[in-house]
Structure formats: C-alpha cells, structure tokens
Amino acid sequence: MNPYEQFQLNKEVEEMAKKRIEIHKKRIQLSEELENSLSNEELQGRIIELEEESQKLKKKIEALQANF
C-alpha cells in the first residue's frame, strides 16, 4: 500500500471512529434518560438502534483494516 492509500484509509477509519464516539455519547445520554423513565419503549428502541449502528461501523472499520 502506498502512503497515499494508507493516509486515505486512516482518514476513513478516523471518521468512522468519531461517529462511533458520538453514537456512544448519545447512548449514554439516552440510558440516563431511560433510568428516569423505565417504561419508555421509544428510548429503549433508540438505544438499540444506536448500538446496531455502532456495530455496523465497527465491522466496516475492521473490514477496511483487514483489506490493507
């Protein structure tokens, strides 16, 4: 892999990692809200969606790194 390709890969992985961090922050916030309202199924659903999105990004990062 040439340096430019490595740079592009690193840049892409960094962006995905930033998205995962933001997702994690949102999950924490929603979890705190959920503690105050345990019966709120909408919050529970959103937390699950965020976790699924985070896992997809994690798999993309791993796939990118495995290809290079």
- Residue pair 6/14 in contact (Cβ under 8 Å)? The answer is no
Which residue ranges make up each domain of the chain? 3-67
Backbone φ/ψ region at 4: left (φ over 0), alpha (ψ -120 to 50), beta? alpha
User: How far is it, in rounded angstroms, from Cα 20 to Cα 26?
Assistant: 10
The reported pLDDT for the residue numbered 38 is 66
> How large a percentage of the chain has pLDDT more than 90?
38
Secondary structure of residue 57 in the 3-state scheme = helix
pTM above 0.75, yes or no: no
The reported pLDDT for the residue numbered 57 is 92
pLDDT tens-digit readout, 5-22 = 889 888 999 999 999 999
Kindly give, in sequence order, each residue whose CB lies less than 8 Å from that of residue 58, ignoring residues fewer than 6 positions away: 20
The better pLDDT of the pair 33, 24 is held by 24
